[in-house]
Amino acid sequence: MLTSHWLGKVCLAVGLLLPQCVHAEDSQRHDKVSFYFAAHQDDWQLFMNPSAFQDVADQKTKTVFIHVTAGDAGSGTGTRGRKHPFYLARENGAEVAIRFMADSSELPVGKTAARTNFNGHSIYRMSYRNTVSYFLRVPDGSASGLGYPETGNQSLLRLAGGQAKTLAAIDGSAVYRGWPDLVATVREILDYERGRAPVVQLNVAETDAGINPGDHPDHQMTAKAALDAAAGLACARRLYYVDYASSHLPENLSPQQRDMETAVFAVTAAGIRALDHSSAWHYYNDSYVGRNYFRVEEGAGRCEAPRLEVAKSQHTVAERQPNAGRKKQMAVAP
């Protein structure tokens, strides 16, 4: 359990708000790999914390954050009249929040940032200590799930439903040709990162509309992609988190857990503002912080062996940095 001294590390994190490009891959083997699937770059901070913080704080756990959409709100690679594109500001917020958690009791170190090929697609990957982050950068699908005109009305929902045959990353880095292509790409990421770890955990949005009503279509399609990709991982423990609907539920975190969640979201907001965009701090903080609701499905069976050819097919190049049986229960963060 973390002690209160980690709060002093906020100052260190604020000093690292602007992206950097240093190479220091963590090759340590881990007992557990915990995957957090987020449609947008602030979803896990608001809906899956302090669970994520507790995983990152455990040095025996590798924590992998997979951000599927660019969270661009229809801006694509545009800047909205600001200094930087909105999607890069949101990515910066997620990155500095992850480094803040990983450095909670340590001095900062270097990170590894690279484009990596999975299933023939180039994806931005960042590793830092015992964490890994992916940014697939497909277009934000909007609250309707039908996409934005500015990005060709592309969306995860339309791809999954067959209304669209392709889905292109906003930065031109990848084109997914049908839902199976996207799922196969996620499966390769799962295989590559889990390796032969004995324990695998999947953290996704709650898919039961009775528990998680009114959720964002991107949240639900991200969960679907993760679960489809993990179909062969019967051993994996699955946690399903209440998203927007948690704002109507009472706060259920202890004071220490609430501090952890608040700190991570504050660092996220500062990282977004460091790249000249608004973080909507008050709305999100007032609506979601202090709440962490999820149900658990325990793994029942064996996981298929990772596809070793995936590891052999990796090619990385330096990323240019911008401007520089199943048990159901409702639970609180373990």
Query: What backbone torsions phi and psi does residue 100 show, to the nearest 5 degrees?
Result: -60, -45
Band the pLDDT of 105: cuts 50, 70, 90.
Answer: confident
Contact 102, 56 (CB under 8 A): yes
* Spatial distance between the Cα atoms of 317 and 311, rounded to a whole number of angstroms: 15
Would you say residue 126 has pLDDT above 80?
yes
Would you say residue 169 has pLDDT above 90?
yes
Give the DSSP H or E segment for 286: helix 281-288
Mean pLDDT of 193-199: 93
Mean pLDDT of 271-280: 95
Would you say residue 310 has pLDDT above 60?
no
Would you say residue 329 has pLDDT above 50?
no
To the question of pTM greater than 0.85 for the whole model, the response is: yes
Residues with Cβ within 8 Å of residue 308, at least 6 apart in sequence: none
Would you say residue 253 has pLDDT above 70?
yes
Query: What backbone torsions phi and psi does residue 253 show, to the nearest 5 degrees?
Result: -95, 150
Band the pLDDT of 327: cuts 50, 70, 90.
Answer: very low
The pLDDT of residue 11 is 32
The share of the chain scoring above pLDDT 70, in percent, equals 84
Would you say residue 318 has pLDDT above 60?
no
Give the model confidence (pLDDT) of 2-24 as tens digits. Answer: 333 333 333 333 333 433 333 33
Mean pLDDT of 284-297: 96
Residues with Cβ within 8 Å of residue 140, at least 6 apart in sequence: 40, 69, 70, 71, 72, 73, 74, 147, 148, 151, 155, 218
Band the pLDDT of 307: cuts 50, 70, 90.
Answer: confident
Mean pLDDT of the chain: 87
Query: What backbone torsions phi and psi does residue 38 show, to the nearest 5 degrees?
Result: -125, 130
Contact 232, 304 (CB under 8 A): yes
Mean pLDDT of 39-68: 97
Give the DSSP H or E segment for 260: helix 255-274
Give the model confidence (pLDDT) of 214-236 as tens digits. Answer: 999 999 999 999 999 999 999 99
The pLDDT of residue 231 is 95
The share of the chain scoring above pLDDT 90, in percent, equals 79
The pLDDT of residue 332 is 40
- Domains in the chain, ordered, with CATH? 23-331 (3.40.50)
Distances (CA, A) of 78 to 22, 93, 121, 150: 26, 18, 23, 10
Band the pLDDT of 325: cuts 50, 70, 90.
Answer: very low
Band the pLDDT of 308: cuts 50, 70, 90.
Answer: low
* Spatial distance between the Cα atoms of 61 and 57, rounded to a whole number of angstroms: 8
How many Cα atoms sit within 13 Å of 78 on the Cβ side? 10
Would you say residue 62 has pLDDT above 80?
yes
* Spatial distance between the Cα atoms of 250 and 161, rounded to a whole number of angstroms: 35
* Spatial distance between the Cα atoms of 90 and 111, rounded to a whole number of angstroms: 18
